[in-house]
Amino acid sequence: MIFKVLNYGGNLKMKNVMRWVAVLFLLGGMTSAWSAGIEFRQVTTGVYAYVGPLTDRTPENLGLNNNIGLIDTSEGWVFVDSGAGDLAAKALEKAAQKIKSQPVVAVVNLGSQDHRWLGNDYFARQGAKIYAYQGTVATQKKMFAQLQSSLVRKVPALKGTKMKTADKVLDAEQNSFSIGGVAMQLNFYGDAHFPGDAVLWLPKQQVLFTGDIVYVDRMLGIHPWSNVVSWNAAYQSMRALPAEFVVPGHGRVTNWQQADAETGDYLAKLVETMTEEAENFSGVGAAVSANVNWPAFKHLKHYDSWHKRNLNRAYLQIEASL
């Protein structure tokens, strides 16, 4: 079609040429829109993060509405979490190869939510070793079928993903190891968003990958299987790490100040307030309606849809434990 337009020549027709060029450019852009959307940004030397959108899982984002870490080592890439299935893992791998073409030698899983580990099978087939804390692996095995089916309802292209858990299952609460010259520590501080959630600490780079223990920019979510009391305690223990860079599970790469303001303070307030309400036998309805308005957290995305649910679940969990 470009030829046809070119054959006409003339100034007026030049406008048409430009229009076609623009249309073709747009079409080209659309087909590569998603792969262009996955981009790792440098956190500090040799450490990168992909920051996922704050929306839900969609066919367009391949379930990658979370953050993923990437570490450059002398042996190759190490991924911190593996994405929501084969296609997502492949897209992540492609984005890493854009920075440097080298094999993916390992994946460290921080959690058992779909987008943290359903890409394990893909990376294992490329030769990567999977690392995870034993409590994470236990939850992954227990929840695989449930996670997979609810994910596929939202992102049908991810169906058929196979379960693959860690080759190196780490049992201690603090596990120090090194891959390709980079010292790492996989730490467990307590059940949180999911049972067995862990964090990865890079002591030299002072980078902390928190997985879903920290959310910034958006409201965190208490699920029926989350443990609000131990999540709060886990956050407080983890807080002792002298992190210069905090890569949260969701939201921008940040520091302790924002993590405290948007996760630590929220969890502490949830536990404190709902413990008081439960001890006073307020009843869940009254406890929720007395606390719907927490101005310090209203700026967080999804506050309206998640805050009430969080209050509700926190009250019921705490009441049941009294």
Give me the residues that bind Zn ion (CB under 5 A), please: 66, 113, 212
* Comparison of 113 and 317: residue with beta carbon closer to Zn ion: 113
* Comparison of 226 and 317: residue with beta carbon closer to Zn ion: 226
Q: How far is the CB of 320 from Zn ion (least distance, A)?
A: 24
Integer CA distances (angstroms), 190 to 79, 135, 181, 213, 258, in order: 23, 10, 28, 10, 21
Q: How far is the CB of 210 from Zn ion (least distance, A)?
A: 11
Integer CA distances (angstroms), 115 to 90, 93, 109, 142, 158, in order: 13, 14, 10, 16, 11
* Comparison of 190 and 221: residue with beta carbon closer to Zn ion: 221
Q: How far is the CB of 194 from Zn ion (least distance, A)?
A: 9
What's the CA gap between 269 and 68, in Å, rounded?
28
Pairing verdict, β 207-215 and 245-250: parallel
Q: How far is the CB of 195 from Zn ion (least distance, A)?
A: 14
- Asked if 71 and 100 touch (Cβ cutoff 8 Å), the reply is no
Residue 307 CA to its chain's centroid (Å): 19
Q: How far is the CB of 29 from Zn ion (least distance, A)?
A: 29
Q: Quickly tell me which residue has 């405290």 as its tokens.
A: 260
Q: How far is the CB of 158 from Zn ion (least distance, A)?
A: 15
* Comparison of 106 and 151: residue with beta carbon closer to Zn ion: 151
* Comparison of 282 and 310: residue with beta carbon closer to Zn ion: 310
* Comparison of 212 and 319: residue with beta carbon closer to Zn ion: 212
What's the CA gap between 83 and 85, in Å, rounded?
6
